[in-house]
């Protein structure tokens, strides 16, 4: 019998196959079947997780790409100085994907960069930085807003609406932004359409900073403990371990629309399997109105 391990935030929650989370939209059987369809990790090129080459993604999306770094403590540096990436990496930060959005001075990241599952603080915003991949600039984060976390011990409650918007100290050079009109709220009712997930970081590749793009499908929506659907959808994507914050796009009237970000994954491992034989199934947190409400609150604070 195999073991499933659900990964949310930066820690593990073990569950057995018999305790597989309930999914709504009558997709339970499809999701369970998809466990055999997820792909071996650390395969780039021949698998559906492909190295992202120039021109594969529109410039206004590619130039919005980045990574978020959060430290447990302040980084000692001269007043006014912005630490280098090398200095930040020496402190072993938590790293995730991040995307420049809205007016260009904000990024979309995971709420679990800042809050633990129990609601306690994970990292302070003043200890977080954004790396703009196109320019190589490191930009301090100065403010953050996110939807309220649901109370309780159920991981699908605490992982509901796992999105955050952080304000940057300044706009990176030559940066593009995924604007509001490039985003959509998907109803999660039609799973026949493929999705594309863009990632700039995963821990299980030879180069953790690999730029990848994955084409895959959704299979079901995780329920909250109340029985209501959450914002989390199960997929057969294999975006790689540590790919939190990677963007999920769906095509709407011929245009790519950002509808969510990666918030975790399920690991499947046979009893005789080694780490290299692990298979991943990515969990995506889809957007709802709470994302845009968070954006408005952050925007209002800047105006005061």
Rounded mean pLDDT, 164-176:
96
- Look at residues 71, 102, 87 and name the one whose alpha carbon lies nearest to residue 165: 102
Query: Which ranges in the chain belong to alpha helices (H)?
Result: 28-34, 59-62, 85-90, 155-158, 289-303
Does position 20 have pLDDT exceeding 70, yes or no? no
Give the pLDDT of residue 38: 31
pLDDT at 51 exceeding the cut of 90: no
Predicted pLDDT at 42: 37
In the chain, domain spans: 3-53+182-288, 59-179+291-303
3-class DSSP state for residue 74?
A: coil
pLDDT of residue 250: 94
Tell me the percentage of the chain whose pLDDT exceeds 70. Answer: 76
Q: For 295, list phi and psi in degrees, rounded to 5.
A: -60, -45
CA distance linking residue 215 with residue 127, whole number of Å: 34
CA distances from 172 to 79, 97, 99, 106, 163 (A): 20, 16, 12, 10, 22
Report the pLDDT value the prediction gives residue 199, as an integer from 0 to 100.
93
Residues 6 or more apart in contact with residue 299 via CB below 8 angstroms: none
Lowest mean pLDDT among 48-52, 132-136, 193-197: 48-52
Least confident range from 107-116, 167-176, 210-219: namely 210-219
When pLDDT is cut at 50, 70 and 90, the band that residue 5 belongs to is very low
* Token pair in block for residue 201: 């970081």
Distances (CA, A) of 283 to 2, 45, 148, 214, 224: 19, 22, 20, 13, 14
Q: What pLDDT, on the 0 to 100 scale, is given for residue 132?
A: 97
| Fold type of domain 3-53+182-288 | Thrombin, subunit H (2.40.10)
Rounded Cα distance between 34 and 16, Å, is: 16
Cβ count within 10 A of residue 155:
20
Fold match between 3-53+182-288 and 59-179+291-303?
yes
Report d(CA 253, CA 69) in Å as an integer: 35
56-60, 63-67, 220-224, 264-268: which has the minimum mean pLDDT? Answer: 264-268
Residue 303 φ/ψ, nearest 5 degrees? -75, -20
- The token pair at 161 is 């609406």
Q: Which CATH class is domain 59-179+291-303?
A: mainly beta
Give the predicted TM-score (pTM) of the model: 0.81
């Amino acid at each position: 019998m195999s073991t499933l391990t659900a990964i949310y935030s930066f820690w593990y929650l073990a569950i057995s196959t018999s305790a597989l989370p309930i999914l709504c939209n009558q997709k339970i059987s499809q999701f369970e079947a998809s466990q055999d369809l997820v792909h071996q990790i650390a395969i780039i090129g021949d698998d559906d997780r492909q190295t992202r080459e120039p021109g594969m993604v529109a410039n206004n999306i590619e130039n919005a790409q980045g990574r978020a770094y959060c430290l447990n403590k302040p980084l000692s540096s001269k007043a006014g100085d912005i630490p280098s990436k090398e200095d930040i990496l020496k402190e072993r930060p938590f790293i995730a994907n991040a995307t420049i959005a809205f007016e260009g001075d904000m990024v979309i990241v995971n709420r679990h960069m800042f809050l633990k599952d129990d609601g306690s603080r994970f990292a302070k915003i003043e200890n977080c930085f954004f790396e703009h991949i196109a320019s190589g600039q490191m930009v301090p984060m100065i403010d953050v807003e996110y939807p309220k976390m649901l109370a309780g011990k159920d991981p699908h409650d605490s992982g509901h609406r796992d999105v955050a918007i952080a304000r940057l100290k300044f706009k990176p050079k030559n940066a593009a932004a995924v604007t509001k009109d490039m985003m959509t709220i998907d109803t999660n009712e039609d799973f026949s359409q493929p999705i594309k997930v863009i990632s700039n970081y995963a821990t299980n590749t030879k180069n953790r900073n690999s730029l990848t793009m994955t084409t895959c499908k959704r299979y079901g929506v995780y329920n909250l403990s109340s029985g209501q659907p959450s914002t989390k959808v199960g997929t057969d994507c294999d975006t790689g371990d540590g790919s939190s914050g990677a963007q999920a796009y769906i095509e709407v009237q011929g245009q790519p629309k950002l509808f969510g970000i990666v918030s975790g994954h399920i690991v499947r491992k046979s009893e005789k399997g080694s780490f290299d034989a692990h298979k991943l199934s990515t969990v995506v947190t889809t957007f709802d109105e709470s994302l845009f409400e968070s954006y408005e609150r952050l925007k209002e604070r800047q105006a005061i």
